[in-house]
Amino acid sequence: MSRICTICARGGSKGVKNKNTKMLLDKPLIAHSIEQAKQSGLFDAIAVSSDNEQILAIAKQFGADILVERPNELATDQAAKLPVIQHCLLAVEEKLGKQFKVIVDLDATSPLRLVEDIIQSIRIFEENSDVDNLITGAPSRRSPYFNLVEVNEKGYADLSKRLDKVIVRRQESPKCYDMNASIYIWKREILLNSTSVFHSKTLLYEMPEERSIDIDSELDFEFVSFLAMKRGEIS
């Protein structure tokens, strides 16, 4: 089955300056996801999309097959990620003159995944032929049925979700997950017609908390650096 891996990394970042090129262990952050994709051995092409020349140069250095220059309108703080992935896919297909059946996006800011996570999530996705897409997540620390609250228009706090039965122990509540922005998988026709990552047949591949940190702040980067050094390597 033809598969493409997309890795989308813009140059600007407010939470962590130049985070996609920032050194994690002995290589730039984005390099870890490129090397994981290569080590999986599952992709016909690995494409990196960016508006930044340095990121694209690093991507080429670490083995990306195709570099896609992202349009300015898709590189703003307000730009959604789905149109970026769609643009990347269509640009690669036009360049290669072929279509891909399965699209796997690896988020460069979630480098603690294992290569085995990529392999297993693709296996699960492709073994379930009727599904639309797959996302990854970790067991949630907070439950909307027990200790996650919202403040209403009157300024009062209440549970985000209530069941007919009162939940007195978190373990009794339905299992919930935090999306970890690590791996996304789509069928081509679903991706190209998507405005959301949620569809009627969306699977979730569970990953542990220690492989699920998404870097949005300097503190996140410190956590990832600590866990990466403790593990000894990432990719």
CA–CA separation, 37 and 115 (whole Å): 7
Q: Cα dist. 32→35, 96, 104, 113 in Å?
A: 5, 25, 16, 10
**How far, rounded to the nearest angstrom, does the alpha carbon of residue 12 sit from its chain's CA centroid?**
18
**In this predicted structure, what is the pLDDT of residue 189?**
97
Name the band, by pLDDT with cuts 50, 70 and 90, for residue 232: confident
Cβ atoms 98, 89 nearer than 8 A: no
Task: Answer whether residue 46 shows pLDDT above 90.
Answer: yes
Q: Cα dist. 200→62, 126, 132, 137, 190 in Å?
A: 37, 17, 8, 18, 11
pLDDT over 70 percentage in the chain: 99
**In this predicted structure, what is the pLDDT of residue 163?**
87
Q: Model confidence over 156-176: pLDDT tens digits?
A: 999 999 988 887 777 778 999
**In this predicted structure, what is the pLDDT of residue 158?**
93
> Of 2-11, 74-83, 164-173, which one has max mean pLDDT?
2-11
Which uninterrupted H or E stretch holds 84? helix 81-96
- The ranges of the chain annotated as CATH 3.90.550.10 are 3-138+178-231
Token pair in block for residue 73: 């309108």
**In this predicted structure, what is the pLDDT of residue 151?**
97
**In this predicted structure, what is the pLDDT of residue 235?**
63
**CATH no. of 3-138+178-231:** 3.90.550.10
